A and B are shown apart, each in its own frame.
Chain A
Amino acid sequence: MSYIPTIDRSACSAHGDCVDIAPEVFELGDTAEVIGSGPDKKILKAAKACPASAIEVVDSETGEVVYP
């Protein structure tokens, strides 16, 4: 649980793929929003699914950008 996602709101069109994959982490408003944390694997899967590549994932332990 060390991955932290952030959403580029100008790029997000609220496709909702991230919410389908990790509803405990993401929620849909005008754009997707981060509402909580979840398993790293799920967060990474959600970020990869985003058709707009609007989710950036950082490993909070290392500070490294894991995705994209």
Chain B
Amino acid sequence: MRHRKSKGVEMKEQGVVIVGGGLASQRCAETLRRRGYDGRIRLVCGEPERPYDRPPLSKDHLAGELSDDDVAFRPAGWYEDNDVELILGRQAARLDAKRRRVELDDGSELFYDDLVIATGAGARRLPPLEGYTNVHYLRTLADARRLREELREGARLAVVGAGFIGQEVASTARAAGAEVTIVEALPAPLTGVLGKEVGLWLMKMHDEEGVEVRLGTKLDGARGNGAVEELALSKGDPLACDAVVVGIGVAPAAGWLKGSGLETDGVLTDHAGRTSLPGVWAAGDVARSFDHRHGEHRRTEHWDAAARQGMAVARAIAGEEPDPHPLPSFWSDQYGLRIQYVGHAEGADEVTVEGRPSERDFAVVYTQEEQPVGALVVGRPKDFARLRKEIEHTYTQRTNGKEHK
């Protein structure tokens, strides 16, 4: 055990406590060790599993092609080899920043020198579907294992919400031979960020793959004894189903921070993950990190952001100044097709399409004042690499422009 002297009293060093068992936490622990940090590291996972990667949960893992071990970030022995203490199946219940102490849900307490809040986000729930046995949300490995059982040949699956999670589940379920219906409240999904054309194109792809798509349709309620047998919808016939998957977004898992002095709707941080409390950092879905390109704090639910933020916190704890965040970016795999996104489409004033959408081979370029600010690319990795550079150039120019004024 490492010790340090403080006012002549020998004090035990508490090291870094990382709360949350996802990507940001794993990256943070790994980067700390890679930077030579030799203090104590404790990693608290809310689930009874060591940290694992979530993207396969709606794809290869859900399809049964990857095992639980395959999606774990590291073999079980890695944690012992790297002197990272795993505390599994425990959730943080309270933060007492004055005493640098986190209380867990079993009443135990952990003291820290540095605390990394990386508790992620939880699936938003639909109250009319509470209590039914065949309603699924997809966030954890346990959720995925449960949902996998439902994806049988001929099973009727209702997907509520046409975001990327719902779409990937639909794709995986089709491959397993299930009959799938997507129900989406908006006239086209994802319009806020990607625009109506892209949302409709995605729905057309699902339609071509044999998915029934019901847009502009709200869920009114459910009927069934124990399990949902039928969904009542705002439009059209009730939807008979064997199982329901709900993918209507996530909310930051920050309720436990109530009374701590930190924000419970996404913890505000600077670019390195520093919060307003000394020795307290935040990374990943739970954080609202400062975005230097727009001069405001933003929460980003992307895999990339969690990875980079977890690493940035570790670098800052190790005494380095982390790089500014790269452009937001995500990808989705559906029906054997790769969809890639980069930049800030939400700020576009014009959208142009290059290529052939009908052949699933195209790039959508989002421009603002005639400069590219975002791109969505389907089946064109070459364009993706090029557009990312062009978008980076747009923002570099703008940032430099500001500095010269």
Contact = CB atoms under 8 A, between A and B. Distances in A.
Interface of A: 8, 10-11, 13-15, 29-30, 48, 51-54, 56, 67-68
B326 A56 contact: no
Q: Of residues B27, B34, B304, B340, which shows the largest number of chain A Cβ atoms within 10 Å of its Cβ?
A: B304
Interface string B355-395: 00000000000000000000000000110110010001000
Contacts of B308: 13
Name the prevailing secondary structure of the B interface residues.
helix
21 contacts: A10-B326, A10-B392, A11-B326, A11-B385, A11-B388, A13-B308, A13-B329, A14-B307, A15-B303, A30-B34, A48-B381, A51-B303, A51-B340, A52-B304, A52-B329, A52-B340, A53-B340, A53-B385, A53-B388, A54-B385, A68-B382
B31 interface: yes
Interface of B: 27, 31, 34, 303-304, 307-308, 311, 326, 329, 331, 338, 340, 381-382, 384-385, 388, 392
Contacts of A8: 385
A46 B338 CA distance: 15
Name the prevailing secondary structure of the A interface residues.
loop
A28 to B, nearest CB: 9
A68 B381 contact: yes
Contacts of B384: 53, 68
Contacts of A30: 31, 34, 311
Contacts of B338: 51
B304 A13 contact: yes
Contacts of B329: 13, 52
Nearest to B388: A11
Contact of A68 (B307, B331, B385): B385
A31 to B, nearest CB: 10
Nearest to B392: A10
Contacts of B307: 13-15
Contacts of B331: 51-52
